[in-house]
Structure 1
Amino acid sequence: MFDYRSMFDLTGKTALVVGAGSGIGEASAQGLAAFGAEVYAADVNAEAAEATADGIMENGGKAIAIGLDMLDSKSVAAVAEGIGTPDVLVSTPSVNVRKPVLEITDEEFDRIVDLNLKGTFRLVRQFGRGMAERGSGSIIAFSSIRAQVVEPGQGVYAATKSGTVQMLRALAAELGPSGVRVNAIAPGVVETPLTAQIKDSPDWYGSYAEKSILGRWAQPHEMVGMVVYLASEAASYVTGGFMLVDGGWTAADGRFTPPL
């Protein structure tokens, strides 16, 4: 009989988590380590990565802190040279500039695209090659509900998140024959440094909470279940996926409950 209890076990696996210094990346690193993976906690902020790695080790896990800049192909290549090809790659960092499309400057456009889309590209290009050569691996990158639904001020950010999904789907098709799985996770509203601006505005924060079916924001640790699932053998037949973890945000129509 198949050992179902082992499906989520990551013992003996290595996982590179980029953006591990805070938010969803930090929680993902902790979660993967809790299920047995040896985690490379990578972040452009090396001190933050160190803090995450220290926290994992204090709880009995295995972790190594790494400085990595997704904006620099040489930095990504240097990490690959140093650690080899991990079994799991998780990419979480994003940046947003909340402005109408007609007011976005060239510099702001480039800044959003260079991290959110091209940064993800740099990672999957570098580590996807090694996974394909080895014949196994799981690539997980964070998109957003903004890949499907938008609002004023989210145009360029939404474009990068939609672009990430389509890029990963193409990569899934290309690497599937080599045994590598590629999936995107789409969170709803999560309390992270990226959304601090909204949390500081009670009306804005409350409106977002009410939009989800569950009536609240998510915490970073609530993304970890999907990360562990996609990293593990439990998702051995899952690739090219767009996995919504949004509290029902995209399932419900509008922000008004009709009298029934």
Structure 2
Amino acid sequence: MTLLEGKNAIVYGGGGRIGAAVATAFAAEGATVHLAGRTVARLEEVADRIRAAGGSVSTAEVDALDERSVDEHADAVAAAGTLDVSFNLIAHGDVQGTPLVEMSVEDYERPVHTAVRTQFLTARAAARHMIKQGSGAILLFGGDGEPVREFSVGGLQVAFHALEAMRRQLAAELGPHGIRTVTLRTGGIPETLPEGYAGRRELEENIAAKTMLGRAATLADVGAVAAFVASDRARSMTASTVNVSCGALVD
């Protein structure tokens, strides 16, 4: 039996590289994956690959920053069965590579506002149905950590710290209802860097050099770990972070 057989999983931002990798892994482990995002064409590209591999998938245009859009989609998924997994992987609109002293307040604030709002909306929508079921898993991506010295990341780390505070509170309130909350952390995934990014090679080497395994985590690595964490095999895991950094991050 596969890890997620019979489960329904929503992946917000399913058209992005990380979202697609997670959705593909969920489907390969037997879940019916519900891809949600603002660009349907990108979602359909991912869905076509999942269907070609024999997976079950649906797509929906959802603005993960809009309360009504999120709630209506979650209600529709739950109405067809259960809502077992929610993973929000939308982009936060962060600006990187610009020192803080040169950054506009709008660019600094954007990832914080975006991350907090979207995660609250999607976690709340999922939890309302999971409470009725007495089970479920809400996954987050990012995690807090030490300041980044080698590269300017703007407000991204602040956003991650805010999400971790939310995750801890969600774990405390939702745990009695059988709902787990877990964050996946990486030390950077080179595959997510734009092909034309000027400092790509240098950044790739920098990420790999910091790891204990001598390599960076791949998108496939993240997908495989996410599928395990979302499954009942990980039913004792909550209020925690999972390190998917090849040893770049030391807990």
Normalised TM-score (structure 2): 0.89
Are residues 34 and 161 of structure 1, via their aligned partners in 2, closer, same or farther at CA, if it must alter by over 3 Å?
same
Alignment correspondent of 2:139: 140
Instruction: Give every structure 1 segment of 4 or more consecutive aligned residues whose post-TM-superposition deviation is greater than 4 Å.
Output: none
Are residues 192 and 125 of structure 1, via their aligned partners in 2, closer, same or farther at CA, if it must alter by over 3 Å?
farther
1:155 Cα deviation from its structure 2 partner: 4.7
1:198 Cα deviation from its structure 2 partner: 9.1
Are residues 198 and 187 of structure 1, via their aligned partners in 2, closer, same or farther at CA, if it must alter by over 3 Å?
farther
Q: C-alpha root-mean-square deviation of aligned residues, in Å?
A: 2.0
**Alignment partner of 1:196 is 2:194:** yes
Q: Is the 8 A contact 1:182 1:239 kept in 2?
A: yes
- The separation in 2 between residues aligned to 1:78 and 1:103, in whole angstroms, is 40
Q: Is the 8 A contact 1:71 1:114 kept in 2?
A: no
Alignment correspondent of 2:156: 157
Stretches of structure 2 lacking an aligned partner (at least 5 in a row) = none
- In structure 2, which of residues 25, 30, 33 is the aligned counterpart of residue 36 of structure 1? 30
Amino acid corresponding to residue 169 of structure 1 in structure 2: R
Alignment correspondent of 1:71: 65
Superimposed CA distance per residue, residues 54-77 of structure 1 (whole angstroms, 9 cap, x where no aligned partner): 111111110001122222222212
**Alignment partner of 1:88 is 2:82:** no
Are residues 220 and 186 of structure 1, via their aligned partners in 2, closer, same or farther at CA, if it must alter by over 3 Å?
same
Superimposed CA distance per residue, residues 79-121 of structure 1 (whole angstroms, 9 cap, x where no aligned partner): 1232225111111223321233333323213321232222111
Q: Is the 8 A contact 2:108 2:154 kept in 1?
A: no
Paired residues, what number?
A: 243
Alignment correspondent of 2:217: 218
Alignment correspondent of 1:176: 175
Amino acid corresponding to residue 151 of structure 1 in structure 2: V
Q: Is the 8 A contact 1:149 1:250 kept in 2?
A: no
**Alignment partner of 1:62 is 2:56:** yes
1:184 Cα deviation from its structure 2 partner: 0.7
Amino acid corresponding to residue 45 of structure 2 in structure 1: A
Alignment correspondent of 2:19: 25
Identical columns (%): 30
- The separation in 2 between residues aligned to 1:149 and 1:198, in whole angstroms, is 28
Alignment correspondent of 2:127: 128
Q: Is the 8 A contact 2:3 2:227 kept in 1?
A: no
Q: Is the 8 A contact 1:169 1:183 kept in 2?
A: no
- The separation in 1 between residues aligned to 2:110 and 2:39, in whole angstroms, is 18
- The separation in 2 between residues aligned to 1:244 and 1:27, in whole angstroms, is 17
Secondary structure of the corresponding residue to residue 207 of structure 1: helix
Q: Which stretch shows the higher mean deviation, 34-43 or 106-115? A: 106-115
**Alignment partner of 1:50 is 2:50:** no
Normalised TM-score (structure 1): 0.86
